Structure 1
Amino acid sequence: MNVLGVEGENIREVDVTKINRVWTKFYDEGVRANIDYPVMPAYRILEDAAASDPDKICFEFFGTKWTYRQMKDASDKVANFLFDIGVEKGDRIVVALPNLPHYAIIANAIYKVGGIVVQCNPIYTEREIRYIVKNSGATRMFAFEGMYPRIRPLIEDGTLEKVVICRIEDFLGFVMSALFKAFLKKKMVGKVDIDRRKEVVFWQDVLKYERTDKRAEINPKEDVAMFQYTGGTTGFPKAVMLTHYNLVVNAYQVAEWDPRTTPSDVAVGCLPVFHVYGMTMLNSSAVLRMKVIPIPDPRDVEAILKAVHKYKATTFTGVPTMFISMLNHPKLSKYDLTSLRVCVSGAAPLPVEVKRKWEEITGGKLVEGYGLSEASPVTHCNPLYGLNKAGSIGVPYPDTYAVVIDEEGNILPPGEEGELAIYGPQVMKGYWMMDEETEKTLINGWLLTGDMAKMDEDGYFYIVDRKKDMIVAGGYNIYPREVEEVLFEHPAVAEAAVVGVPDPYRGETVKAFVVLRPEYKGKVTEKDLDKFCRERLAAYKVPRLYEFRDELPKSLVGKVLRRVLREEEAEKLKKKS
């Protein structure tokens, strides 16, 4: 059955407009298949909200409220600071913060001066931060104060010329700030001594600048707004280049997906905004004029439960491990979650039982979606109120085309497995300084996801396997080569291979297979390797399991076969069950 009308055609030649988007008939009432997106710089999302609803609360953070107008005015001050320190169009600026109100202000300020936001996880080690700074060519950075010991070496050697230190208490009133410093700061930040030097500026100093109406000239469809680092076959993170238009489009697509949302809705923001998934949720909230309750530490499950209960949150977007943690929390019954109307899970497969339990407790909907950094990131989602299919990532978003292809790029019919390819206005411009990788990944406008999938006759898609070796643990993407490179730095390690193995909580967890040099056998333990890795990798990338072997499975040309290791682990699991 020729459901799409183009089965058998090749994506290198197919006319996208002739594809039958069979899935649109399952869209919820009020969701448009095509949207007239504004062609504008990304900062206009906040500016439009400030113009139409200036006194609407944008954020509420530890009881402190900030309106859309206040957020816009603060971003104008930060923009003036950036102009003053010489930032020019195209300059890259690293932003490494947890979920704090600073983030939206800083990102919008960077957009206004024509700069590029370089996303960085604040728990990265010095080694990881240095790679991102060097690769992007950034010399300025906005950083969470707890990072200072890890970025100080980059300041001392001249890699970073200017760093703005941001603190949680920057957005607290006098009383709350005093209480935070007295009771919570040590727990959340730790003790950090920050040098008083010319390269270091504090957030409050930046906000002393006057507002500016000056704006760089932006071509939304061509100019890059953000670098989102992701992994790949090279073993080194690649910078995905997302344009202003990419970010605007995905924000409007997300906003479109729930036609029942109103400005009175409240979102709990616990998805890290240092990833474009969290940033897009933030942008879509501004499109809808919603109030957001930021959660600085997404691992603080009780803080999320408290926020939903206290603010009567109506929507919440997370990863499966967040929903699992909340359902398993010993104090779950203490909190009322029935205000939640709709929740979306992404970044990893959502267990059907988790969905069932969540909907039973909240009375609301929990649906699964799909996306990737290269698509800003959301491309698919199950309808919020209509037909949900167990195990499915749902249907493509408005203006988004998706097909399953074979190795030659031919479009496969429903039911057949192949690689998922996506075409739409949210697809990236390419990878920074990696033309060859870009050419392999973008074919005639189609984004090759590297995920193996199938589509049913209704146009619902299912992820069946990963073409790439990426590990998804707790919603975080982990690239084996990066972890292996660290293991290889240990003097005792002769060979190493890293794979993802099934984990009931994280979805997958990292397992390292290690061959020790003969002189170290019996002398180096799992604890030794764990300590070594923790000094060089973010905690979520560190292997949770180790297996010492005399040799690793290899191909005839000597390539380590991760596939064989995964198959062995799957066989062990089968025998246990």
Structure 2
Amino acid sequence: MVKEKLWLESYPQEIPSTLEYENRSLQSFLQEAARENPEKQAFHFMGKDMTYKEVYGDALRFANQLRSLGVNKGDRVAIMLANTPQSVICYYGALLAGAVVVQTNPLYVEREIEHQMIDSGAKVMVCLDILYPRVEKVWRKTSLEYVVVTSIKDYLPFPKNVIYPFVQKKNTGIKVNISYNSKTLHFPSLLSAGEEKELDIPIDPKEDLALLQYTGGTTGPAKGVMLTHYNLVANTLQCRAWMYKMKKGEERVLAALPFFHVYGMTVVMNLSIMYLTKMIILPKFDPKQVLKAIQKHKVSLFPGAPTMYVGLINEPDIEKYDLSSIEACLSGSAPLPVEVQQQFEKLTGGKLVEGYGLTETSPVAVSTPIWGKRKAGSIGVPWPDTEVAVLSAETGESAEPGEIGELMIRGPQVMKGYYNKPEDTAASFKEDWFLTGDMGYMDEEGYFYIVDRKKDMIIAGGFNIYPREIEEVLYEHEAVQEAAVIGVPDTYRGETVKAFIVLKKGKNVTEEELEKFCRENLAAFKVPRLYEFKEELPKTMVGKILRRALVEEEEKKRKENEDSLKKGS
């Protein structure tokens, strides 16, 4: 499929085209860090610092306790936590016990928790105390045998640990009252009773799963992506090679991306453990707290999502903070508008580039060189040992440069398959190439461009319209903070383009002004016919705008209108 790897000519000389992949387990990197740099700080969390020795010690205690609960090699351990010390400790502890981690989004409602627990067959879940009521409602319908409950206060220093429950109740309205028993376990008690004993559980990195990571479920129930130790180690090593200016043991990374998302897990947590980077962990993204953390801790690396950078550049007081320590930011999970990239780099002096990948690719496959040639609108070039091809809809073979088709990927980071779904797995591969579902093209220099999701494409009057292109134009308008574009039913054109807009504070613009602006920058058939101004757009916890939720909103409104008309007639 790949006739020539044109992208290799664009690699900075410091990045090799191929790497040596160590055939080792993911948890072995924490073990190595604790043995070779025991007193080095692993992370800072709300006033609490922990060394690699302390993190490894707690992970071992948790691993031994999992074994005592009957968790054997290959059993599933679900983790439903915000970014906290426990999310690192339980993740690596589960791996040390030989288990497979099932990351569970803390925003999941009962139906989603139930589906994921049943599908994965998880034996143990670790969850935050404020999330326990949701888990309790579905627990008995699943294979869960134990639920381990922890609180953010469990790793806070005095007096924050005493004050926190009152703050939590004030902010959430939830008073946590849990009856612990032989099946509902108190995390601090469980950990303190655990042995700090080394475990010797043989791992075959290429065959054994480290992670069952569930996809968003936009085409039905979420599917469990099977990622091996080798997949995750390979992608972390690729990331390290891409960030070649990183100094081992000297960097400080802002951990605002959720660890339960595969992007935050790889480029923040796993990379930090592998490269002795100190994580500044934030339980949630708050622009002011992020700015304070960057200034106070001299953060040098800040992987994030576009909405995070949008939130920061629109923070009124941003110029009061010293952000000059920022060296590199890798944006993922959603398209990065060019305007956002340029403004953020101007404010910090650091580099902000876009990366591209999927849960199925551990997740990163393509990125713009951080310290190399970049092209406006491009997602960049494939990472070492990663091949990307464009599947021509006409020929079924590799497309020519400039021709739009579906992107396909192969490399050491590509998943083993979907758990218990052999048909879905087979449909997602063309031989050993993973079919992404994303439409794009490659230029003459091997740089790739995404035009949109295959399923998000709008067909209006016979024309193929890609929402991302229109959103890029809308982001260039001085009054627009966020934009999302979808197709809505149209009796004449089949579909027509609708834009949802969030305005910047203190800015105003009319529909007529936006239409004029779009007509100056887009072909007439791409210009939105409908506009809706909103206070905020629906997003995932990682900050990805949910076009699907907007489509569902429109469908609901249309149905209500139809019902109303029927009643009226």
Band of TM-score, shorter chain? 0.7 to 0.9
Q: How does 1:199-278 map to 2 (within 5 A)?
A: 199-208=183-192, 209-231=194-216, 234-262=219-247, 263-278=249-264
Taking the aligned partners of 1:367 and 1:291, their CA distance within structure 2 comes to 22
Q: How does 1:154-193 map to 2 (within 5 A)?
A: 154-155=138-139, 159-183=143-167, 186-187=170-171, 190-193=174-177
User: Are 1:80 and 2:67 matched, yes or no?
Assistant: no
Give the secondary-structure state (helix, strand or coil) at the position aligned to 1:348: coil
The counterpart of 1:391, out of the listed 377, 391, 411, is 377
**Aligned residue for 1:573?**
none
Taking the aligned partners of 2:262 and 2:370, their CA distance within structure 1 comes to 22
**Aligned residue for 1:468?**
455
Letter in 1 for 2:154: D
CA shift digits 1:282-315 (9 cap, x unpaired) = 11112221100111112x2211111111111011
**Aligned residue for 1:350?**
336
Instruction: Decide which moves more: 150-159 or 99-108.
Output: 150-159
Taking the aligned partners of 2:277 and 2:448, their CA distance within structure 1 comes to 30
CA shift digits 1:423-459 (9 cap, x unpaired) = 1000000000100010011222211100001000111
**Aligned residue for 1:110?**
94
Instruction: Decide which moves more: 167-176 or 430-439.
Output: 167-176
Instruction: Decide which moves more: 312-321 or 330-339.
Output: 330-339
Letter in 2 for 1:227: L
Instruction: Decide which moves more: 345-354 or 421-430.
Output: 345-354
User: Are 1:413 and 2:404 matched, yes or no?
Assistant: no
Q: 1:267 touches 1:292 (CA, 8 Å); kept in 2?
A: yes
Give the secondary-structure state (helix, strand or coil) at the position aligned to 2:319: helix
The alpha-carbon deviation at position 259 of structure 1 amounts to 1.2
Give the secondary-structure state (helix, strand or coil) at the position aligned to 1:207: helix
The alpha-carbon deviation at position 51 of structure 1 amounts to 2.1
Letter in 1 for 2:109: T
The counterpart of 2:130, out of the listed 146, 168, 172, is 146
Query: Per the alignment, do residues 500 and 32 of structure 1 end up closer, same or farther by CA in structure 2, a change over 3 Å counting?
Result: farther
Give the secondary-structure state (helix, strand or coil) at the position aligned to 1:314: coil
The alpha-carbon deviation at position 21 of structure 1 amounts to 2.2
The alpha-carbon deviation at position 24 of structure 1 amounts to 2.0
**Aligned residue for 2:364?**
378
Taking the aligned partners of 1:243 and 1:219, their CA distance within structure 2 comes to 9
**Aligned residue for 2:558?**
549
Letter in 1 for 2:235: N
Query: Per the alignment, do residues 270 and 174 of structure 1 end up closer, same or farther by CA in structure 2, a change over 3 Å counting?
Result: same
**Aligned residue for 2:522?**
none
The counterpart of 2:416, out of the listed 429, 435, 457, is 429
Q: How does 1:47-58 map to 2 (within 5 A)?
A: 47-58=31-42
Instruction: Decide which moves more: 424-433 or 252-261.
Output: 252-261
Taking the aligned partners of 2:255 and 2:281, their CA distance within structure 1 comes to 5
Q: 2:324 touches 2:349 (CA, 8 Å); kept in 1?
A: yes
Letter in 1 for 2:204: N
**Aligned residue for 2:441?**
454
CA shift digits 1:160-201 (9 cap, x unpaired) = 321111211111122231243444564268322212232111
**Aligned residue for 2:289?**
303
The alpha-carbon deviation at position 270 of structure 1 amounts to 0.8
The counterpart of 2:319, out of the listed 328, 333, 347, is 333
Q: 1:155 touches 1:199 (CA, 8 Å); kept in 2?
A: no
**Aligned residue for 1:367?**
353
The alpha-carbon deviation at position 158 of structure 1 amounts to 6.6
Instruction: Decide which moves more: 151-160 or 390-399.
Output: 151-160
Taking the aligned partners of 1:189 and 1:92, their CA distance within structure 2 comes to 32
Letter in 2 for 1:342: A
Taking the aligned partners of 2:218 and 2:314, their CA distance within structure 1 comes to 36
**Aligned residue for 2:117?**
133
Taking the aligned partners of 1:158 and 1:21, their CA distance within structure 2 comes to 48
Q: 1:422 touches 1:448 (CA, 8 Å); kept in 2?
A: yes
The counterpart of 1:65, out of the listed 33, 49, 54, is 49
Taking the aligned partners of 2:409 and 2:561, their CA distance within structure 1 comes to 36
Query: Per the alignment, do residues 60 and 500 of structure 1 end up closer, same or farther by CA in structure 2, a change over 3 Å counting?
Result: farther
Taking the aligned partners of 2:80 and 2:232, their CA distance within structure 1 comes to 19
**Aligned residue for 2:278?**
291
Q: 2:121 touches 2:144 (CA, 8 Å); kept in 1?
A: no
User: Are 1:402 and 2:402 matched, yes or no?
Assistant: no
Letter in 2 for 1:447: F
Taking the aligned partners of 2:241 and 2:432, their CA distance within structure 1 comes to 23
The alpha-carbon deviation at position 502 of structure 1 amounts to 4.3
Cα RMSD after superposing both structures: 2.8
Give the secondary-structure state (helix, strand or coil) at the position aligned to 1:315: coil
**Aligned residue for 1:45?**
29
Instruction: Decide which moves more: 286-295 or 209-218.
Output: 209-218
Q: 1:145 touches 1:189 (CA, 8 Å); kept in 2?
A: no
Letter in 2 for 1:291: K
Give the secondary-structure state (helix, strand or coil) at the position aligned to 2:250: coil
Q: Relative contact order (C-alpha < 8 Å, sep 6+): which is higher?
A: 1
Letter in 2 for 1:211: E
Query: Per the alignment, do residues 190 and 551 of structure 1 end up closer, same or farther by CA in structure 2, a change over 3 Å counting?
Result: closer
Give the secondary-structure state (helix, strand or coil) at the position aligned to 2:197: coil
The alpha-carbon deviation at position 234 of structure 1 amounts to 4.8
CA shift digits 1:548-571 (9 cap, x unpaired) = 336999xxxxxxxxxxxxxxxxxx
Letter in 1 for 2:220: G
The alpha-carbon deviation at position 157 of structure 1 amounts to 5.4
Q: 1:324 touches 1:505 (CA, 8 Å); kept in 2?
A: no
Q: 2:113 touches 2:138 (CA, 8 Å); kept in 1?
A: no
Query: Per the alignment, do residues 410 and 143 of structure 1 end up closer, same or farther by CA in structure 2, a change over 3 Å counting?
Result: same
Query: Per the alignment, do residues 257 and 183 of structure 1 end up closer, same or farther by CA in structure 2, a change over 3 Å counting?
Result: same
Letter in 2 for 1:250: N
Q: 2:118 touches 2:142 (CA, 8 Å); kept in 1?
A: no
**TM-score of the pair, normalised by structure 1:** 0.79
The alpha-carbon deviation at position 384 of structure 1 amounts to 0.5
Taking the aligned partners of 2:39 and 2:144, their CA distance within structure 1 comes to 37
The alpha-carbon deviation at position 258 of structure 1 amounts to 1.2
Letter in 2 for 1:286: I
The counterpart of 1:96, out of the listed 68, 77, 80, is 80
**Aligned residue for 2:308?**
322
Give the secondary-structure state (helix, strand or coil) at the position aligned to 1:248: helix
Structure 2: gaps of 5 or more residues: 458-466, 472-483, 487-494, 504-543, 563-569
Query: Per the alignment, do residues 353 and 200 of structure 1 end up closer, same or farther by CA in structure 2, a change over 3 Å counting?
Result: same
Taking the aligned partners of 2:325 and 2:545, their CA distance within structure 1 comes to 34
Taking the aligned partners of 1:236 and 1:446, their CA distance within structure 2 comes to 24
The alpha-carbon deviation at position 239 of structure 1 amounts to 0.4
**Aligned residue for 2:481?**
none
Taking the aligned partners of 2:371 and 2:105, their CA distance within structure 1 comes to 34
Query: Per the alignment, do residues 203 and 186 of structure 1 end up closer, same or farther by CA in structure 2, a change over 3 Å counting?
Result: farther
Give the secondary-structure state (helix, strand or coil) at the position aligned to 2:32: helix
Instruction: Decide which moves more: 407-416 or 358-367.
Output: 407-416
